[in-house]
Structure 1
Amino acid sequence: MKVLIGGYTKKTSKGIYELPFIGEDNGAKLGKAENIISVGGPTYFQKDGDLIFTINNAGDEGGISVLKLGEHGSSEVDRYLTPGASPAYVGIDREKKLIYTANYHTAVLSVFHYNPSGNLELVDQVTHKAETLGPRPEQTDGPHPHFFDETPSGNLVSCDLGNDTVDFYRLENGKLEHLAQYKNETGFGTRHIVFSKDGNYFYVVGELSSKINVVKFNEDTWDFENIATYKTIPEDFTEHNGAAALYISKDGKYVYNSNRGHNSITVFKVNDDHTLSLVQRISTFGDFPRDFNWDADQKYVVVANQNTDNATLYIRNGDNGTLTPIQTEIPVPEGTRVLFTK
């Protein structure tokens, strides 16, 4: 098992790094980070076999690149770049061979098809409009989609930080059709979303509000019911914080999010009625944790701290959801994306 970490390339990072996973249980640790892919600003990426689909910030152009991993490094298979900023998020459907990107700066959502070799074909794009912009400085300049991926029923969903909205789409006959919209509270800063195991609820995190909103919904009728909202940071924390990544355990019992500023991961238990109960807030032992992730068994969790160029490894208790740090101060530069791989 290995861990891939990529992020910004503004200081010393060269792209995507691979860290070997050594040992097991409380004796587990990550080895030295090795740069395996040189690419500009791989702040988010996905993997399918030996193919890496990564954000590529190529100076005056931005987009995604497809790289094939080999025994002696990597080679670029294809790229799709356009003038301006690169996307913020990359989603994937490995069975349908589809890639989804959300561009925070240009407000463009894109769908690509890829063949087994990794060659890309643009399927369709839509651009979010400035319809319900929030009052915060990060919102007043326009829509900012930060997430674009699949729903439990195979539709598509985006999270728009500028508009405070969750938007649902259908991809049919190569065209994106807007189906429905859920509006978060003004200034929420809608960023990432996860779904309950039964597909009847979603949990959406607000970057600007540092809150998680629990919503009951019906993916046939598009009825929404606001259930509850929870702070991801302590009420008495007054410094700047931006909530970032959001994950739910595969058994549907625990929700996790990272907090950039409070520099923590918050763990919530999902109650029988789908409300949340705070279980734990634990330090990330570094500054500005954007992404974190777990292995296939969800036994180990790794978080990357962007500003302090380090990562932290935890062991996860599947019975109560808690995280216990087993290795801190793991050197890796400018990390914003974490992915376990074989």
Structure 2
Amino acid sequence: MTVYFGTYTKRDSKGIYAADFDEASGQLSNPRLVANEPNPTYLAFAKDGSLYSVGAEQGLGGIAAFTADLTPLNHVVEEGAPLCYVAVDEERQLVYGANYHKGQVLVYKRLEDGSLELTDSAVHTGSGPHENQASPHVHFADLTPDKFLVTCDLGTDQVITYAVSDQGKLEKKTTYQAQAGAGPRHIVFHPYTKLAYLICELNSTIEVLIYDGLGYFERMQTISTLPSDYQGFNGTAAIRITKDGQYVYASNRGHDSIAVYRTLGDASLELVEIVPTHGKTPRDFALSPDEKFLLVAHQDSDNIVIFSREEATGKLWAISNDVQIPEAVCVTFPQD
């Protein structure tokens, strides 16, 4: 099985990397560069193997499309910084993007060969009380279980939901206001109950939200990702939930750890443990397809750390940390 890594290309990286993953042992081997691309910091696969990446071309920023064998298809770029998040909508044959620096949500149509064309975009407005919230910063754009497009705006403390037409046109529906200065970054949905888990970068919390469908959220719980006695810098990054909805995982950059939670009867969260990631700046991580392992990518120490995961308790044990991927900030497995 192959696992793919998005990276920054500010130091040693040249683009998108891959490695072989042994599903039995959890070991990685044969790390290699598979596509040259400037700062491909987030990746998303379609079911046919097409890959969509944060991309840049001739000093312009946006998104890049590749075939299943990673032959470049096209770039859709414009003035300014590239995107920071990419997601595929198989049902509508669309791709969504979030642009942090421009406070923008974008929609692209997948053409017959897998290449992209822009169909719509929306620019957020507003700000927040934190020094990093002078303007909107859209950090996430992906689907809710009922196929609305949900966006997390770190700059305005908002989760804004859109209806999307089959032609890729946006219609704003609802706005959820997170706690002031929280900095919403990513969101995941419980597979069986009407709840979502919103990870907030700036105050190192997860907001547990009741999701009643149609884009409406209501806060039920706020829980920290850090030990109560930690006083240093931290910014959260990724959040994942297991397929059975029983465990949630969140990464801390600064504290350099993974927080592990179990979901209780009402799907609220209870902290199980906070484990060091054995690297610097764990920006992204992924559960293996069978969820027996968890792979953590470190942006500043360039190592991929693999944890064995105990299914009954959700607890993690580090088993390997010697594979190097330069400036890794995204870990993803292709879709089944």
Note if contact 2:3-2:20 (Cα within 8 Å) is conserved in structure 1.
yes
CA drift of 1:84 comes to 0.6
Q: Which residue of 2 aligns with 1:137?
A: 131
**Matching residue's letter, 1:86:** P
* Counterpart-to-counterpart distance in 1, 2:325 and 2:147: 35
Aligned length: 333
* 1:86 to 2:82 alignment: yes
Deviations 1:190-247 (A, max 9, x none): 1000111235111101100000011113114x55432110000112111111000111
Q: Which residue of 2 aligns with 1:269?
A: 262
Counterparts of residues 42-191 of structure 1 (less than 5 Å): 42-48=40-46, 49-58=48-57, 60-70=59-69, 74-130=70-126, 133-140=127-134, 142-172=135-165, 174-191=168-185
CA drift of 1:320 comes to 1.4
Note if contact 1:285-1:329 (Cα within 8 Å) is conserved in structure 2.
no
* Counterpart-to-counterpart distance in 1, 2:310 and 2:91: 31
**Matching residue's letter, 1:39:** E
**Matching residue's letter, 1:317:** E
Residue 246 (structure 2) aligned to one of 246, 249, 253 = 253
Taking only the aligned residue pairs, the percentage that are identical comes to 38
Q: Which residue of 2 aligns with 1:9?
A: 9
* Counterpart-to-counterpart distance in 2, 1:216 and 1:94: 26
* Counterpart-to-counterpart distance in 2, 1:340 and 1:168: 27
SS for the counterpart of 1:324 is: strand
* 1:315 to 2:308 alignment: yes
**Matching residue's letter, 2:72:** E
Does 145-154 or 313-322 show the bigger shift?
A: 313-322
Does 182-191 or 121-130 show the bigger shift?
A: 121-130
* Counterpart-to-counterpart distance in 2, 1:244 and 1:96: 28
CA drift of 1:165 comes to 0.7
Q: Which residue of 2 aligns with 1:36?
A: 34
* Counterpart-to-counterpart distance in 1, 2:113 and 2:123: 29
CA drift of 1:59 comes to 5.7
Deviations 1:292-322 (A, max 9, x none): 0122221221110000011101122222111
* Counterpart-to-counterpart distance in 2, 1:227 and 1:128: 26
* Counterpart-to-counterpart distance in 1, 2:20 and 2:100: 32
For structure 2, the 5+ residue unaligned runs are none
Note if contact 2:107-2:169 (Cα within 8 Å) is conserved in structure 1.
no
SS for the counterpart of 2:71 is: strand
TM-score by length of 2: 0.95
CA drift of 1:21 comes to 1.4
* Counterpart-to-counterpart distance in 2, 1:57 and 1:299: 35
SS for the counterpart of 2:30 is: coil
Change (3 A) 1:199 1:91: farther
CA drift of 1:23 comes to 6.1
Change (3 A) 1:59 1:8: farther
Q: Which residue of 2 aligns with 1:201?
A: 195
Q: Which residue of 2 aligns with 1:219?
A: 213
Note if contact 2:252-2:282 (Cα within 8 Å) is conserved in structure 1.
yes
Counterparts of residues 283-294 of structure 1 (less than 5 Å): 283-294=276-287
* Counterpart-to-counterpart distance in 2, 1:85 and 1:153: 31
CA drift of 1:60 comes to 2.5
CA drift of 1:28 comes to 3.0
Note if contact 1:32-1:331 (Cα within 8 Å) is conserved in structure 2.
no
Note if contact 1:311-1:328 (Cα within 8 Å) is conserved in structure 2.
yes
Deviations 1:136-171 (A, max 9, x none): 11102x000100000010111000000001111101
CA drift of 1:175 comes to 2.1
Note if contact 1:107-1:143 (Cα within 8 Å) is conserved in structure 2.
yes
* Counterpart-to-counterpart distance in 1, 2:296 and 2:123: 32
CA drift of 1:269 comes to 0.4
Deviations 1:249-294 (A, max 9, x none): 1111111111111111111101011211111211111000111012
SS for the counterpart of 2:233 is: coil
